[in-house]
A and B are shown apart, each in its own frame.
Chain A
Amino acid sequence: MTPGDLATTSDTLVWLAVLSYVVAATLFGLEFAYRPRWLGVAGLAVTVAGLAANVGAATTRGLAVHRVPWGNMYEFSIIVGIITVTGFLVWVRRRPEIRPLGVFVLLPAVLAMGLGGLVFRVPAGPLVPALNSRWIVIHVAAAITGSSVLCLGAVFSILYLVKDRVERRRRPPAPPLVAGAARTADRVEVDQAVARHAGVWDRLPSADTLDHLAYRTIAFGFPIWTFAIIAGAIWAQSAWGRYWGWDPKETWSFISWTVFAAYLHARATAGWRGRRAAWLAIVGLATLLFNFYAVNTVIVGLHSYGGR
């Protein structure tokens, strides 16, 4: 295949992947709402197919341009899809019960890729000289992986907050001071009432499980993000002669790092653990999104090659 054919194939595969993710998200969503297991299993199969298309898209793009396929925002968005979906699949393998959460993971991935494909798409092409370094392999790969994993963790934090709210609302009032038997009967009645009125959100895994998922995911992403920043500093030192210059991209990476560091500290601080920590993760997610979308396009800086 010529580079042109490969690039066309890549573009097709991107949309195929997005389409698969949309279908899978729908299936997971239906499983979440109506519970039949086969929907989720089908969703999983479609997700894997979508992931294959996604990886194929990145590979053909890389072959078409003879370099790593993460040189601009469009390519970055494609890789974000791969990392997020892979991260989710790894979690589902370890904890099958979280499968219906796929809808909350795939939809952001679809958004990221769709935005990349519709707004930031650029034809396959070579890199500008400033990006032509082997550090692009390491730094950008670590940045995509770290930020995708941190975003995934923040998604779990959002779900944790939702479920925590549901659980607190549902907590039955203090049992009346009567004899044991009557009390048990009351509890049963309360439980039945609760089950009758249980909303769809009750089907989320327990708040504690979600909190745990969020922590484990963020604790995995944080060192990768740290490494990405350090690798970027090394590259900046060899490309611009300074390892740190408060360029907007650097500043926002540092802000995200600080916020997620605060999250990790909050997990061990009385009064911050739980809801407040989850809010910190959400702030962290906002800083990552700002860094990727706003800093690349709106704020002028040395990292502004990403956009169009």
Chain B
Amino acid sequence: MAVDVRPPAARPDRPPRRPGLGDTLRQAWREYRSMRTALVLLVVLAAASILGSLFPQEGVSPQRVDQYFADHPALAPVLERLGLFDVFGSAWYMAIYLALLGALVACLVPRTRALVRVLRSRPPRGGDLARYRTRATFETSAPPDEAMAAARRVLRRHRFRLATHDGQLAAEKGYLREAASMLFHVSLLVLLVGLAYGKGYGYRGQAAIVEGETWANARVGYDSFSPGRFFGPERLAPFQLRLDDFTNSFYANNTPRAFVSRLTALDLDGRQLQSQPVAPNRPMTVDGVRVFQSDYGYVPVVRVQDRNGRELLAPQEVLTLRDPASEVSNGAVKVTRSTPQVGLQVVLFTGLRTAPDCPPGMDFCNDPRLSRPVLVVLAYQGDLQADRAQSVFSLDHSRLRPLGDRPLLLGPGQSGRLANGMVVSFTDLKQYSVFTLARDPGVPVVAVGAALLLCGLVPSLYVTRRRVWVRAVPAGPGTTRVELAGLALQGKAAFEGELARLAAQVERGSGGLTPSPPEDRGTLNGAKDRAAAEETRP
């Protein structure tokens, strides 16, 4: 706090001036918009982002957050309260980047004012040219006004702004550096606005569709759905998607080669809107919603009958979870109509192979291609606890015991009998495809912001601001001495050469006939200058 030490009595004519909260605030404001603040906030932002990669993030991998809670039951709730599982959405992270953007705006205002002032005024006078470090001089037979005209032409060609002060030519260029730097900083604001707008009014969701089935774009159809704060489900575009066909293929070394869904979009009355293959990096756009291929899996169709042939479970599509490494899928069938209840754990091999065809040491393995599908059925009986919430992909084994001691192995169309006489049939095999559906109305804004960012960044680093002054004075009969001096705000190392080249061009342009005497190239720029040379503007 600034304190006014002058005694009030000393200034009887004016009311005593309070030390000024205003002064303090002004000082704080000046500090806030200084580059040092921006610098510190940038470092803090980087450090805060590191936290977001050290802990699993809710928005990136919720399963791993759950895992973390299971592994560290005492620590996890504390971390959660600190927002460490949602760093990039947390209030304190937001506070950091808003403070940074605030400082940016606070710094842009005076910079804009300064740039406008510079652009409105004429390049300033140079004063005594002899005191400049970077100079070039030559003598010519051309009269002074011709030499000056040549200098004007040369400098204008090099895009300098010109002004004349008492016979001295003043030239300046490189305002683009500051303008571009400001454009770069403004574009960061544009990016953030686009980001916030898209987040608020867009949504993302995932949906699984089985081959041959039609899916309606409604909230209930999504397996996961994360809407923006201002997105109402009533705004979901009215369309349906039909998965006509799904194919996947592999390279000889069993790594995936391609997976493609033939997808047809229909309106609510079933009229076809469009149809195209959807694959990774090849999304489809329907009604402003982008549909991306995201995952796939297998759907064995299973039917269960009791020993008398009475149907306990009509042919049912069993959704299974695929392990991407082995292409083996796991699922569960729950037969609640029998007493005791029966649960079937099913494991689907796309191409079951046995010992000699497998890597050494393995009794059986799986070919990822759909070459020899086999459904392995492990039966359990007891209480399925179906009234409790549970996964559709697995059984709750707590009140189940194994039924029989060996699993059934079924090919498509085959049936097998369990130890209690039940008949399990593997009637058909389909595939399902998982799509990510997303709408982000902020994308065009973000794209413009990113384009402006690049447009601003490069000139803000590479355009250099220069001032050059030229003076031509008679130096004896028929001789004119032309003096150039300059000041470089950036890129000082290269400036000396630039000025020498300018001088040479002026000399040629002024049409002098006498051979030029050795140039006084000024002092050589030492390393010290070079150190001060590269100054970046905020």
Task: Evaluate contact between A243 and B446: CB separation under 8 angstroms.
Answer: yes
Task: Evaluate contact between B535 and A239: CB separation under 8 angstroms.
Answer: no
* Residues of chain B lying within 8 A (CB to CB) of residue A295: 53
Task: Evaluate contact between B39 and A272: CB separation under 8 angstroms.
Answer: yes
User: Which of A133, A233, A240, A301 interacts with B436 by CB under 8 Å?
Assistant: A240
User: Which of B253, B281, B538 interacts with A265 by CB under 8 Å?
Assistant: B538
Q: Does chain B have a CB within 8 A of A128?
A: yes
* Residues of chain B lying within 8 A (CB to CB) of residue A209: 527, 530
Q: Which residues in chain A, 98-117, are within 8 Å of chain B measured between CB atoms? A: none
Q: Which residues in chain B, 513-538, are within 8 Å of chain A measured between CB atoms? A: 527-528, 530-531, 533-538
Task: Evaluate contact between B60 and A246: CB separation under 8 angstroms.
Answer: yes
Q: Does chain A have a CB within 8 A of B256?
A: yes
Q: Does chain A have a CB within 8 A of B46?
A: yes
* Residues of chain B lying within 8 A (CB to CB) of residue A280: 43
Q: Which residues in chain A, 233-283, are within 8 Å of chain B measured between CB atoms? A: 233, 237-248, 251-252, 254-255, 258-259, 261-262, 264-269, 271-272, 280
User: Which of A246, A258, A265, A299 interacts with B35 by CB under 8 Å?
Assistant: A265
Q: Which residue of A lies closest to B439 (CB)?
A: A241
Question: Which of A244, A265, A272, A301 has the most chain B CB atoms inside 10 A of its CB?
Answer: A265
Q: Does chain A have a CB within 8 A of B163?
A: no
Asked, given contacts A238-B283, A240-B292, whether A129 binds B257 with beta carbons under 8 Å apart, the answer is yes
Task: Evaluate contact between A259 and B53: CB separation under 8 angstroms.
Answer: no
Q: How far is the CA of A244 from the CA of B57 in the complex (A)?
A: 14
* Residues of chain B lying within 8 A (CB to CB) of residue A287: 46
Asked, given contacts A242-B438, A265-B536, whether A300 binds B64 with beta carbons under 8 Å apart, the answer is yes
Task: Evaluate contact between A208 and B52: CB separation under 8 angstroms.
Answer: no
Q: How far is the CA of A251 from the CA of B57 in the complex (A)?
A: 11
User: Which of A128, A206, A258, A262 interacts with B256 by CB under 8 Å?
Assistant: A128
Q: Which residue of A lies closest to B436 (CB)?
A: A241
Q: Which residue of A lies closest to B258 (CB)?
A: A129
Task: Evaluate contact between B258 and A251: CB separation under 8 angstroms.
Answer: no
Q: Does chain A have a CB within 8 A of B402?
A: no
Segment with Cβ contacts to A, from B5-13, B451-459, B502-510: B451-459
Q: Does chain A have a CB within 8 A of B496?
A: no
Q: Does chain A have a CB within 8 A of B153?
A: no
State how many angstroms separate the Cβ of B282 from the closest Cβ of chain A.
8
Q: Does chain B have a CB within 8 A of A11?
A: no
Task: Evaluate contact between A226 and B280: CB separation under 8 angstroms.
Answer: no
Task: Evaluate contact between A126 and B257: CB separation under 8 angstroms.
Answer: yes
Task: Evaluate contact between A239 and B536: CB separation under 8 angstroms.
Answer: no
Task: Evaluate contact between B255 and A251: CB separation under 8 angstroms.
Answer: no
Asked, given contacts A130-B280, A266-B39, whether A243 binds B251 with beta carbons under 8 Å apart, the answer is no
Asked, given contacts A245-B60, A246-B88, whether A267 binds B534 with beta carbons under 8 Å apart, the answer is yes
Task: Evaluate contact between A258 and B538: CB separation under 8 angstroms.
Answer: no
User: Which of B39, B454, B530 interacts with A212 by CB under 8 Å?
Assistant: B530
State how many angstroms separate the Cβ of A270 from the closest Cβ of chain B.
8
State how many angstroms separate the Cβ of B368 from the closest Cβ of chain A.
13
Q: How far is the CA of A264 from the CA of B139 in the complex (A)?
A: 42
* Residues of chain B lying within 8 A (CB to CB) of residue A242: 204, 438, 440
Asked, given contacts A223-B461, A265-B42, A267-B534, whether A233 binds B53 with beta carbons under 8 Å apart, the answer is no
* Residues of chain B lying within 8 A (CB to CB) of residue A223: 454, 457-458, 461
Task: Evaluate contact between A230 and B281: CB separation under 8 angstroms.
Answer: no
Question: Which of B283, B493, B527 has the most chain A CB atoms inside 10 A of its CB?
Answer: B527
In which size bucket is the chain B interface? 35 or more
Task: Evaluate contact between B46 and A206: CB separation under 8 angstroms.
Answer: no
Residues of chain A at interface, number, CB under 8 A = 57
Q: Does chain B have a CB within 8 A of A216?
A: yes
Asked, given contacts A223-B461, A230-B454, whether A255 binds B536 with beta carbons under 8 Å apart, the answer is no
Q: How far is the CA of A300 from the CA of B54 in the complex (A)?
A: 11
Task: Evaluate contact between B534 and A215: CB separation under 8 angstroms.
Answer: yes
Q: How far is the CA of A66 from the CA of B64 in the complex (A)?
A: 37
User: Which of A126, A239, A258 interacts with B49 by CB under 8 Å?
Assistant: A258
* Residues of chain A lying within 8 A (CB to CB) of residue B253: 125
State how many angstroms separate the Cβ of B84 from the closest Cβ of chain A.
13
Q: Does chain A have a CB within 8 A of B434?
A: no
Task: Evaluate contact between B53 and A268: CB separation under 8 angstroms.
Answer: no
Q: How far is the CA of A299 from the CA of B53 in the complex (A)?
A: 8
Q: Which residues in chain B, 81-133, are within 8 Å of chain A measured between CB atoms? A: 88
State how many angstroms separate the Cβ of B207 from the closest Cβ of chain A.
13
Q: Does chain B have a CB within 8 A of A91?
A: no
Contact pattern, B 226-264, Cβ under 8 Å of A = 1, otherwise 0: 000000000000000000000000010101111100000
Q: How far is the CA of A241 from the CA of B450 in the complex (A)?
A: 17
User: Which of A130, A227, A255 interacts with B281 by CB under 8 Å?
Assistant: A130
Contact pattern, B 432-446, Cβ under 8 Å of A = 1, otherwise 0: 000011101001001
User: Which of A132, A246, A261 interacts with B280 by CB under 8 Å?
Assistant: A132
Asked, given contacts A265-B39, A271-B36, whether A226 binds B454 with beta carbons under 8 Å apart, the answer is yes
Q: Does chain A have a CB within 8 A of B339?
A: no
Q: How far is the CA of A239 from the CA of B45 in the complex (A)?
A: 28
User: Which of B39, B53, B57 interacts with A262 by CB under 8 Å?
Assistant: B39
Q: How far is the CA of A238 from the CA of B536 in the complex (A)?
A: 35
Q: How far is the CA of A207 from the CA of B39 in the complex (A)?
A: 23
State how many angstroms separate the Cβ of B174 from the closest Cβ of chain A.
16
Q: How far is the CA of A209 from the CA of B531 in the complex (A)?
A: 7
* Residues of chain A lying within 8 A (CB to CB) of residue B530: 208-209, 212
User: Which of B53, B438, B453 interacts with A248 by CB under 8 Å?
Assistant: B53
Q: How far is the CA of A242 from the CA of B43 in the complex (A)?
A: 26
Q: Which residues in chain B, 154-173, are within 8 Å of chain A measured between CB atoms? A: none
Task: Evaluate contact between B538 and A300: CB separation under 8 angstroms.
Answer: no
User: Which of A207, A222, A241, A251 interacts with B292 by CB under 8 Å?
Assistant: A241
Q: Which residue of A lies closest to B34 (CB)?
A: A269
Task: Evaluate contact between A243 and B280: CB separation under 8 angstroms.
Answer: no
Task: Evaluate contact between A262 and B255: CB separation under 8 angstroms.
Answer: no
* Residues of chain A lying within 8 A (CB to CB) of residue B255: 125-126, 128
User: Which of B49, B259, B279 interacts with A255 by CB under 8 Å?
Assistant: B49
* Residues of chain A lying within 8 A (CB to CB) of residue B462: 219
Q: How far is the CA of A27 from the CA of B408 in the complex (A)?
A: 70
Q: Which residue of A lies closest to B59 (CB)?
A: A246
* Residues of chain B lying within 8 A (CB to CB) of residue A215: 534
User: Which of B59, B64, B259, B531 interacts with A245 by CB under 8 Å?
Assistant: B59
Q: Which residue of B lies closest to A245 (CB)?
A: B60
Asked, given contacts A126-B257, A129-B280, A246-B88, whether A237 binds B53 with beta carbons under 8 Å apart, the answer is no
Task: Evaluate contact between B38 and A255: CB separation under 8 angstroms.
Answer: no
Task: Evaluate contact between A126 and B251: CB separation under 8 angstroms.
Answer: yes
**What are the nearest 7 A-B pairs in CB distance?**
A208-B531, A241-B438, A262-B42, A133-B281, A258-B46, A208-B527, A268-B536
Listed in ascending order, the chain A residues whose CB lies under 8 Å from chain B are 125-126, 128-130, 132-133, 135, 206-209, 211-212, 215-216, 219, 222-223, 226-227, 230, 233, 237-248, 251-252, 254-255, 258-259, 261-262, 264-269, 271-272, 280, 287, 295, 299-301
* Known contacts A128-B256, A206-B527, A246-B59; 9 further A-B pairs (Cβ under 8 A): A208-B527, A223-B461, A233-B450, A241-B440, A243-B446, A262-B42, A265-B538, A269-B39, A300-B61
* Sample of 8 A–B contacts (CB below 8 Å): A129-B258, A133-B281, A211-B531, A219-B534, A241-B440, A265-B538, A269-B39, A287-B46
